[in-house]
Amino acid sequence: MSPVQSAVSRASLDIPAYSPSGNECALFESAWVRQLPLLLKGPTGCGKTRFVSHMAAKLGLPLSTVSCHDDLAAADLTGRYLLKGGDTVWVDGPLTRAVRNGGVCYLDEIVEARKDVAVVLHPLTDDRRMLPLERTGELLEAPSSFMLIVSYNPGYQNLLKSLKPSTRQRFVAIEFDFLPRNAEISVVSQESGLLESQVAPLVNLAQRLRALKGHDLEEGVSTRLLVYCASLIDAGMPVKDAVRAAMIEPLTDEPDVRSALLEVAGSLIA
């Protein structure tokens, strides 16, 4: 194998595996070429973060991922002054570093962040592509190599936590959902090492439990949990124990609901 072939081979091994369900890969590449911000929406654990990692690696782009939470403020993204060795110095946040250096900045579950975060993002999501840093007096222009991506789970939205239409309409959006049955079986098998014939009943159970979303459950079983469950089984754990630990217990704390889910699982898993 030539050095070039070897380098290509190593690069392909470094790309996280991802199974497309539509034209999302082509849409990502088009958004990247035209310098458009991207919004990913879909249920927890359906592959949004894996998709971003896959595409960033495929295009050779540095990736900075921020998991948003209730206390995440704009300053956590842009930066702040800190004491270092007796001196006060400015330290860039992940968003500012990405704007200065290029690459992808991915804000996962953006609706969890504080409201002032959206104000910082707005100038970056229109034709200005600017990041104002009031504390330093800088006005950074995003290079062509910068891309902003945010994601959220519409199922978690309520009056207190929602993405305003004025913010949503600044992004090109891709809707994600769980893979079709056969595709999900294949992905879970590849990720866990468990045979597809053993994974199939787990996916059947997941689909059954997902149908309960909005009734007894706030969320259904994610593909991520399916991989966890299959990995436990592949490691030698009894199927019923793995199903309870990875597919039932994470979904609810209610004893009655848990008992009902275990009954459903018992009827589908031998």
- The confidence score (pLDDT) of residue 85 equals 82
- The confidence score (pLDDT) of residue 158 equals 52
Residue ranges for the chain with pLDDT beneath 70 = 1-13, 156-161, 270
Structure tokens at 109: 């579950």
Query: For the segment 174-216, what is each residue's pLDDT rounded down to a tens digit?
Result: 999 999 999 999 999 999 999 999 999 999 999 999 988 877 7
Q: Which residues contact 241 (CB under 8 A, 6 or more apart)?
A: 232
- The confidence score (pLDDT) of residue 156 equals 61
- The confidence score (pLDDT) of residue 270 equals 65
Residue type, 23: N
- The confidence score (pLDDT) of residue 216 equals 73
Query: For the segment 29-53, what is each residue's pLDDT rounded down to a tens digit?
Result: 999 999 999 999 998 889 999 999 9
